[in-house]
Homo-oligomer: A and B are copies of this chain.
């Protein structure tokens, strides 16, 4: 069931929060030894919270709905370990803003989902529930796998490059990366503050719209129909030749199907010099990341993975401040220019990953794709509508103008109905 259906079923007396939570816990007990989506689960606390909801002690738009949060997000009642042995057993004294807002809305926290080390490259133990030999992608690996494997209907992730959209695509769930800066990040581990956002992993566009409003701390509004034919522009971007041929075919075919379903379909080319955003993103994220983690670098260098030490940290520690500032100015300039290029386009259509989940643990396919869109601060959704040559999921990514997240949901809902 989706979160929206759970809320309705509990309100209608057809189930209880306790029953839903127990079903999730049973699924976790049956499957998580294989999937490894969870870093920490507290069944007793979850059942107690569900019973409190069932007794009516707390109402709200998520009343009784179980949720999970990536293990870089603070919780007052569970450890938050950031995917590193350095912070083993770390116990925050309060909830992150997004957790407190979820509980305020009646959500029932099941536990913490596996993150890659510091939400960066080094993978955790999570496997793709569609094929346990394959990666779930990262860095919100556990959040995507848990939702995909029916262990929980909603999970919070984060995104600094592609850490929500990519695992959503690989695991075949709905993923959402909001407009940069709208959601409070207090209590969420900072990776690169100029790029970090929350992310939502869910089972429907409706659930994403609902949970987005909960995490904004505003009364949820249902998705308003567009009221006209959506204008969807296929955007191949500078990295089109990096997508697997099947992925390119699937997305082009989807644009034809949407046209046949009544959408106005055009093509949209980003200005050629937006290719600078790839380097700009890498420069900004590495420079910031290496400073954010000064304490760990100075005191626990030996406990950091070789992947991270030789990659982002090596790049970032000696990064040039002048290049960093120039990269931020490039990103800012491209964002302002993109604002003027939308015309009457509602959303852009592009793939949500280069292709299917690979065999193994490596979790970071498609970085250039995400560098582009994440540094533009635009909201995006991954819709689980494609299957690749090995039967694994691939997402269609829809992207809207900054702050047009609600329009994005309306178009995503329409497109998902037409593509499935």
Q: For the complex, give the distance between the alpha carbons of A321 and B194 in Å.
A: 22
A104 contacts which of B103, B186, B294 (Cβ < 8 Å)?
A: B294
A295 contacts which of B100, B190, B291 (Cβ < 8 Å)?
A: B100
A87 contacts which of B93, B190, B321 (Cβ < 8 Å)?
A: B93
Are A93 and B90 within 8 A (Cβ)? yes
Are B217 and A291 within 8 A (Cβ)? yes
Which of A97, A184, A185, A194: most chain B Cβ within 10 A? A184
User: Does A264 count as interface, using CB distance less than 8 angstroms?
Assistant: no
CB distance from A61 to the nearest CB of B (A): 14
Which of A193, A288, A295, A329: most chain B Cβ within 10 A? A295
Are B336 and A288 within 8 A (Cβ)? no
Which of A194, A216, A321: most chain B Cβ within 10 A? A321
Are B95 and A295 within 8 A (Cβ)? yes
Q: How many of these chains are in the complex?
A: 2
Q: For the complex, give the distance between the alpha carbons of A328 and B377 in Å.
A: 14
User: Does A101 count as interface, using CB distance less than 8 angstroms?
Assistant: yes
- Nearest B residue to A99, CB-CB: B295
User: Does A47 count as interface, using CB distance less than 8 angstroms?
Assistant: no
A100 contacts which of B97, B185, B298, B336 (Cβ < 8 Å)?
A: B298
Complex interface bits, A315-354 against B, C-beta within 8 A gives 1, otherwise 0: 0010001000100110000001000000000000000000
- Nearest B residue to A287, CB-CB: B217
CB distance from A82 to the nearest CB of B (A): 10
Which of A101, A291, A294, A403: most chain B Cβ within 10 A? A294
Q: For the complex, give the distance between the alpha carbons of A184 and B93 in Å.
A: 22
- Nearest B residue to A320, CB-CB: B218
- Nearest B residue to A335, CB-CB: B332
User: Does A292 count as interface, using CB distance less than 8 angstroms?
Assistant: yes
User: Does A260 count as interface, using CB distance less than 8 angstroms?
Assistant: no
Complex interface bits, A300-327 against B, C-beta within 8 A gives 1, otherwise 0: 0000000000000000010001000100
CB distance from A230 to the nearest CB of B (A): 22
CB distance from A86 to the nearest CB of B (A): 9
Contact partners of A189 in chain B: CB under 8 A? 186
CB distance from A8 to the nearest CB of B (A): 24
User: Does A242 count as interface, using CB distance less than 8 angstroms?
Assistant: no
Check A186/B181 contact, CB under 8 A, given A97-B294, A294-B101.
no
Q: For the complex, give the distance between the alpha carbons of A56 and B190 in Å.
A: 33
Q: For the complex, give the distance between the alpha carbons of A181 and B99 in Å.
A: 25
- Nearest B residue to A288, CB-CB: B184
User: Does A94 count as interface, using CB distance less than 8 angstroms?
Assistant: yes
